[in-house]
Amino acid sequence: MDPIFERLVELARSVDASHPAEAEAELARLLPVDGEEARAIGARLAELITAGEVAERGELPVKYGRVAKASDATCGFSIDVVHMSGPGPHHRHPQGEIDFCFALDGSPTFDGRGPGWLVYGPDSQHVPTVAGGEMGIVYLLPQGAIEFTGA
């Protein structure tokens, strides 16, 4: 597993997804999206996507792939990378979701928000949607818990 994923998991485990606003603020403090480390992580993720090493399944508007299942090695998080340019499938986060979002092309937003951290609390749900370009998103799911609703 690439060290960037270890770093993102380390950060995610330091926050409580049941308090999304506080978690986002803390993650933004620890790894600001406009900082050198976040830019390096985004660049590495873009390389991995371009090389087909992550987000290797499907076609735009949603390409996706699992980096790791939830395990002790991932501090209980599953790690998925998604390359998006439009809407994805409606789903629910039984235990929350922590996302690191980075621009790949254009001026994308994910669920109306620009690049950076986005945290959804337990039992939240949405149709994940990218607009204005292409975005890469690292999804960190506690215990890998996600329910695709088909809605």
| Helix (DSSP H) and strand (DSSP E) numbers for the chain | 3, 9
- The full set of domains in the chain, from first to last, is 3-148 (2.60.120.10)
Distance CA 24, CA 40 (A): 20
For the chain, 151 residues long, the average pLDDT of each consecutive 10-residue run is 94 96 97 96 96 96 97 95 96 96 97 96 95 97 90 62
**C-alpha distance from residue 37 to each of 7, 31, 40, 90, 142 (Å):** 10, 7, 5, 31, 24
What's the predicted TM-score (pTM) here?
0.94
Distance CA 70, CA 142 (A): 7
What integer pLDDT is reported at residue 150 of this predicted model?
74
Pairing of strands 147-148, 124-126: unpaired
